[in-house]
Amino acid sequence: MPAKIILTNNPLVINEPGDLPVQAVTGRGLEALYLAALDLVQSGHKLLSTPLPPNLPLMRAPYRSLVLDKSKTKYDAAGIIALEKARERISLAGQGAYSEKQAQDAAFIDRDLLKRTLRECALELN
């Protein structure tokens, strides 16, 4: 597996070319994404991006993209804690019922948040 990867369930990110490999996650919404991220942070990757967006309406959005990097250690304890807290918050907040237009808007917002994270990590997504 490459050093830095994007883990996402966002179709805009999955289909967009960029410098980093994208690992698509399908199934059970955000729960599947967080479980896939947990597998990675427990097997030699560290979480570079925050697993939660900045506000409650975006927390309920159906899409999320995470950036991970290869780590020198087997476990990323901080990443595990952050992902577990995110799973807990999502289960408490619930997932919103999104119309097709709202889901498209959420996908664009997630992609923009990902681009900001990549800029902060000095990486690129076209």
Domain spans of the chain, in order of start: 4-120
User: Would the pTM of this model clear 0.75, i.e. be above it?
Assistant: yes
- How do residues 20-55 score in pLDDT, each as one tens digit? 899 999 887 899 999 999 999 999 999 999 999 888
Query: What pLDDT band is residue 1 in, cutting at 50, 70 and 90?
Result: low
Checking 12-18 for CB contacts under 8 A at 24+ apart, the result is 12/63, 12/107, 12/108, 12/110, 12/111, 13/65, 13/110, 13/111, 13/114, 13/125, 16/111, 16/125, 16/126, 17/126, 18/124, 18/125, 18/126
> Does residue 110 sit in helix, strand or coil?
helix
